[in-house]
Amino acid sequence: MTQATEKLDLEGLTFATLKLNKTGHVFTITLNRPKAKNAINPVMSAELLYALDYAKQERAIRVVILAAEGDVFCAGGDLRSMSGTASTEPASNVPKRGETDDISLRLRHLNKPVIAKIQGPVLAGALLLVCNSTHAYAAEHAHFSAPEIKRGIWPFMVMAGLFRVMNKRQGLDFIMRGERMTALAAAQHGLINQVVPTDQLDDHVAKVANDLASLAPQTMQLGLAAYHEQEDMDFDPALPMLKKKLEQCLKSADAKEGITAFLEKRTPNWD
């Protein structure tokens, strides 16, 4: 993870598997291995970790969008790279900052809104990206599957995020049978927020991202950090912790500006 004294930079780096774009306060990370169905290989893993650490570090970045090129959002882990087959991609000079399983942790501890823009199928380990984002919107033709059981594998790492967004019975059936789930069913079971007509997906995600980016950024980070901290706590000890967070929030510059703007009947100006 990013250290307090560390300063990450994109200058001079060649990303072989991702496209990065910053527009205003929104940072878009686009998976860019369409010929390989955007499967996550070691290069993509390293680049994702670096991009997420950079997004966490940069104060001007308030929202992250995870998108993908091609017809498939992501096919999960790259079985070719797992078998030892060499990558044919252009060289990447992005420093390695962890392993593939660290991607889930980076997403959960980013403490900024992360929107998964799902334009196509999501398979296997790609569910890590969806389950650990704060928001997920899918095109109507997209579908989701955890087919590992059909290959004699169990989606162990997926479970940590999956059962925090889906109920246990639906989640277990999903991974035990390995069958496809439609986008509509995924929305009904809590895996995604909403199904969006394919031709409206870009505009819908852009609007949500801009709405989130217009809100108090430091309060958003404080609130998301508290959300993750209390998630696995017992109710009684969670309350005093959350009370302290509220007191901290009320003393913050964001709260002072928000209250002042409300009283003055103007739009808040977040630093």
- What pLDDT digit, counting tens, does each position of 72-87 carry? 999 998 876 654 555 5
Tell whether 143 and 167 lie within a shared domain: yes
Q: Is residue 11 part of a domain?
A: no
Q: Tell me: do 181 and 257 sit in the same domain.
A: no
Residue 140 has pLDDT above 90, yes or no: yes
Contact assessment for residue 64 and residue 110, using Cβ atoms and an 8 Å cutoff = yes
68 shares a domain with 160:
yes
Closest C-alpha to 47, from 13, 81, 6:
13
Q: Are residues 240 and 132 in the same domain?
A: no
What CATH number did the domain enclosing 244 receive?
Answer: 1.10.12
pLDDT at 170 over 50: yes
Same domain, 61 and 165: yes
Same domain, 232 and 130: no
Confidence of residue 1 (pLDDT cuts 50, 70, 90): low
Q: Under a CB-based contact definition with an 8 Å cutoff, are residues 181 and 144 in contact? A: yes
State the total domains in the chain: 2
Confidence at residue 83, expressed as pLDDT on a 0 to 100 scale: 47
Q: Are residues 208 and 226 in the same domain?
A: no
Q: What is the pLDDT of residue 79?
A: 72
Same domain, yes or no: 138 and 240: no
- Cα radius of gyration rounded to whole Å, the chain: 19
**Both structure tokens of 230:** 């209390």
- What is the reported pTM? 0.92
| Domain assignment of residue 6, yes or no | no
Q: What's the chain's average pLDDT?
A: 92
* Domain span at 139: 18-213
CATH assignment of the domain containing 53:
3.90.226.10
pLDDT digits (tens, 9 = 90+) for 183-236: 999 999 999 999 999 999 999 999 999 999 999 999 999 999 999 999 989 999
**In the prediction, which pLDDT does 101 show?**
86
Whether 88 shows a pLDDT value over 80: the answer reads no
Buried b (16+ CB within 10 A) or exposed e, 90-125: eebebeebbebebbbebbbebbbbbbbbbbbbbbbb
Conformation bin of residue 102: beta by default, left when phi > 0, alpha when psi is -120 to 50: alpha
User: What's the whole-number mean pLDDT along residues 129-139?
Assistant: 97
Distance, in Å, from the CA atom of 179 to the CA atom of 148, rounded to the nearest integer, reads 10
- Residue 211: CB partners within 8 Å, gap ≥ 6? none
Is residue 233 situated within a structural domain?
Answer: yes
**Nearest-5° angle of CA 110, CA 2, CA 219?**
35
Instruction: Examine the domain organization and report whether 96 and 114 are in the same domain.
Output: yes
